[in-house]
Amino acid sequence: MRKFILPLLFLFLFILESLFVEFLPAKIFGFERIFVPHFLFISLLFLTIFVGKKHGIIYAAIFGLLFDIVYVEIIGIYFFLYPFISYLIYKLLQVFQANLITAFLASLLGISLLEIGVYEMNFLIHVTDLDFMGFINLRFYPTLLLNAAITLIAAYPLKWLFEKHSEAMRTE
Amino acid sequence: MPQFFLNKRLIILLVSIIVLVALIGFSLRERSKLSWPEQFVKDTTGWVQSLVSKPTHFVAGFFENLQDLQDTYGENKELKSRIENLVNLEAQVQELTKDNQELRDILGEKTTLRDFKPLPATVIGRNPDRWHEMIIIDKGKLNGIKKDMAVVTATGLIGKVKNVTQFSSTVQLLSAMDPKNRISAVVQGKKDVYGFVQGFDDKQKLLLIKAIPSGSKVEKGQTVVTSGLGGVFPKGLMIGKVVDVRPDQYGLNQTALVKPGADFYDIENVIVINRLMTQPVKSEISDGKVREF
C-alpha cells in the first residue's frame, strides 16, 4: 500500500492542475493575469527535500515526461527542467537546514526558476513572442503569488507525509 | 577524486542537454501523427482524466445552476420580449430554407462549403502551463475525429484539432501562438473582405486578422466568420467582431483586431465540425509548405 501512495498522489496532482485551469475564469479579482498552478512541482520539490535526491529526481523525470507528452506535446521542456531544478534545490538545501521555512523559500525559488526556464525555452522555439517585462507582469508575479499561497497551505501536510514515508522506508 | 566527480556531473549535464535538444527537435518537426508510445500514454491518462472530470463537471454544474437561479427573473423578462420576434423569424427562415433547397435542386448542386456534421465532445483536460493553449477532449479517432477539424462552442470558433489518438484528441485554441496555424476568414459587410486569422494579442486578448488588402474597408463592429476556402473548415463559423483596424508593418495590408465570440476559458462542451464537402488533394493546390485552414 505504501508503495502506491506517492505515485497516486502525484497522479492526482497532475490531473488536478489541468482541472484547476479548466475551471479558472479569465478574470480573477478583476485582473486579466495568467495564474499557472504548480501543485505537482511543489510536491516534487518537497519530496526531494524531505525524502531524498534519488527519489526526487526519478519522480521528477517521470512526471516531467508525462506532463510533456500529455499537456505540452513538445517532449523535453519539463522532462529536463523538473529533475534539473530538483537537483539544484537539493544542493541548495544541503547548505541550509531542511525545515518548513527553508523548504517554503526553496520551493518558491524553484518555481521562479521553472517559470523563467520555461519562458526562455518557449521564446527560443517561437511558441511565444512575449517580451520579458510582459512575461514578468502577465505571468510571473501572479503565478508566484498563487503558488506561494498553495505552498503555505500544503507545506505542513506534505512535510508530514514525506517524513513518515521516509521513516517507513528506513525501517523496512 | 573530487575532480573526477565534477567531470561526471558535467558530462551528465551535457548529455542531458543534447538529449533535450534532440527531443525538442523531434517533437517540433511537422508530424502527421504522434508516435505510438505517446498515443498510448495519452489514451491512458485520457481515460483517467475522463473518470475524474465527469464528477467535477457535475459538481461545478450544480454551483453554476445555483448562480443562474439568482438572475432568472430578469432573464425571463428579457427572453419573453425576444420570443415574440422569434416566431416571425422562424417562419421566415423556413421559407428561405425551402427556397434555397429548391434553387439548389435546380442547379444540381448537392453539398456546399456550409454543410457539416457536428460531433459533440466533452473537455476532460487543459494544459496547465498555458503557453501552448490546448484542451483535451474525450472523443478520438474511433469517434471519427481527424486532424485539423474545426472545433466550436455555442458562441463561436475556438480552435482546431491538433492531434488525435484512439480515444481522445487535443484541440489547439485560437489563442495559441502558432505561425503555422492560419485560418481563412471573411469580414462580412456590403462587400466581403478576406483575411487570415493569424496570432493572438496576449495583453488585449484579441485575435489578429492579417493580410487584409489595404484598399478594402473594414469597420468596427463587423462580424468575422470562417470563409471555408482553406482546406477542412466549413463556411460561416462565427469567429468574432472587429474592434479595431490598423495598417500593418509596411502599409501594404491591414490588420483587424477581433474580439473572439467564444470564451476561451471555462469551456466544458465543444462541437467538432466534420465538413461534408470533399477536400481537394493538397499536392494539387500547393507546394505543401504552408498550411491554411
Q: Which CATH number covers residue B204? A: 2.40.10.350
Distance of residue B126 Cα from the nearest chain A Cα, in angstroms: 5
- The partner residues of B153 in beta bridges, in order of sequence, read B156
ipTM surpasses cut 0.90: no
Q: Which of B41, B126, B266 sits opposite A69 (nearest CB)?
A: B41
How many structural domains does chain B have? 1
Q: Which residue of B has its CA nearest to A20?
A: B128
In a domain, A48, yes or no: yes
| Binary contact (B53, A19; C-beta < 8 A) | yes
Which pLDDT tens digit goes with each residue over B61-101?
888 888 888 888 888 888 888 888 888 899 999 999 999 88
> What's the rounded Cα separation, in Å, for the pair A8 and A14?
10
In a domain, A25, yes or no: no
- In a domain, residue A28? The reply is no
Is B99 contained in some domain? no
**Segments forming the whole domain that contains residue A148:** 2-13+38-171
Chains A and B: how many Cβ contacts under 8 Å?
119
CA distance A140 to chain B (A): 12
Name the residue among A117, A136, A155 with its Cα closest to residue A39. A155
Burial track A109-130 (b if 16+ CB lie within 10 A, e otherwise)? ebbeebbebbbebbbeeebbeb
pLDDT of the residue at B278: 66
A107 inside domain: yes
Contact assignment for A129 to B177 by CB distance below 8 Å: yes
Q: How many Cα neighbours within 13 Å face the side chain of B9?
A: 10
For residue A67, the model assigns a pLDDT of: 92
Would you say residue B286 has pLDDT above 70?
no
Q: Is residue A26 part of a domain?
A: no
B contacts of A26 (beta carbons < 8 Å)? 205, 263-266
- Does B132 reach chain A within 8 Å, measured CB to CB? yes
Residues B268, B33: Cα–Cα separation, whole Å? 25
Per the domain annotation, does B137 fall within a domain? no
Q: Between these two residues, B287 and B109, which has the higher pLDDT value?
A: B109
Distance in Å, alpha carbon of A52 to nearest chain B alpha carbon: 18
Min distance B266 CA to chain A CA atoms (Å): 5
pLDDT tens for B13-71 read: 889 889 888 988 888 887 777 888 888 888 888 888 888 888 888 888 888 888 888 88
CB B186 within 8 A of CB B154: no
Q: Which residue has the cell 542537454?
A: B17
Q: How far apart are the first and last CA of chain B?
A: 60
What are the backbone dihedrals phi and psi of residue B195, each rounded to the nearest 5 degrees, phi first? -160, -175
- B27 and A74 in contact by Cβ < 8 A? yes
In a domain, A19, yes or no: no
Q: Bridge partners of B223?
A: B241
Question: Of the candidates B24, B125, B264, which has its C-beta nearest A74's C-beta?
Answer: B24
**A20: which chain B residues are within 8 Å (Cβ-Cβ)?**
128
| pLDDT of the residue at B291 | 52
Q: Does B30 touch chain A (CB under 8 A)?
A: no
Say if A18 falls within a structural domain: no
B28 touches chain A (CB under 8 A): yes
Q: Across the interface, which of B125, B170, B265 has its CB nearest the CB of A25?
A: B265
Nearest CA in chain A to B47: A15
Give pLDDT, residue A79: 92
Of A15, A79, A80, the CB nearest to B48: A15
Segment B135-164 shows an average pLDDT of 89
- E strand or H helix that includes residue B254: strand B253-260
**And the C-alpha cell for B57?**
463537471
Task: Name which of A19, A71, A79 is nearest B129 (Cβ-Cβ).
Answer: A71
A7/B contact by beta carbon, under 8 A: no
Residue B4 has pLDDT above 60, yes or no: no
Residue B282 has what pLDDT?
57
Tell me, yes or no, if B69 comes closer than 8 A to chain A by beta carbon: no
Looking at residue A137, its pLDDT comes to: 87
Between residues B218 and B284, which one has the greater pLDDT? B218
How would you write the pLDDT of chain A (172 residues) with one tens digit per residue? Answer: 677 888 999 999 999 998 888 887 666 666 677 888 999 999 999 999 988 888 899 999 999 999 999 998 888 889 999 999 999 999 988 888 878 889 999 999 999 999 999 999 988 888 777 888 888 988 899 899 999 999 999 999 999 998 888 888 888 7
For A73, the closest of B53, B123, B132 (CB atoms) is B132
Residue of A nearest to B263 (CA): A26
Report d(CA A163, CA A159) in Å as an integer: 6
Look at residue A147 and tell me if it is in a domain. Answer: yes
Of A15, A26, A126, the CB nearest to B49: A15
How many domains would you assign to chain A? 1
B242, B241, B253: which is closest to B212 by C-alpha? B253
Domain of B242, in residue numbers: 183-260
Q: B26, B122, B131, B268: which to substitute to probe chain A, counting the most A Cβ within 10 Å? A: B131
Query: Chain B contacts of A138, Cβ < 8 Å?
Result: 202-203
Residue B287 has pLDDT above 60, yes or no: no
- Using a CB-CB cut-off of 8 Å, the residues of chain A touching B24 are 74-77, 121, 125
B93 in contact with chain A, both atoms CB, cutoff 8 A: no
Distances (CA, A) of A70 to A94, B9, B44: 33, 30, 10
Please tell me the distance from the alpha carbon of residue B171 to that of residue B121, in angstroms, as a whole number.
Answer: 11
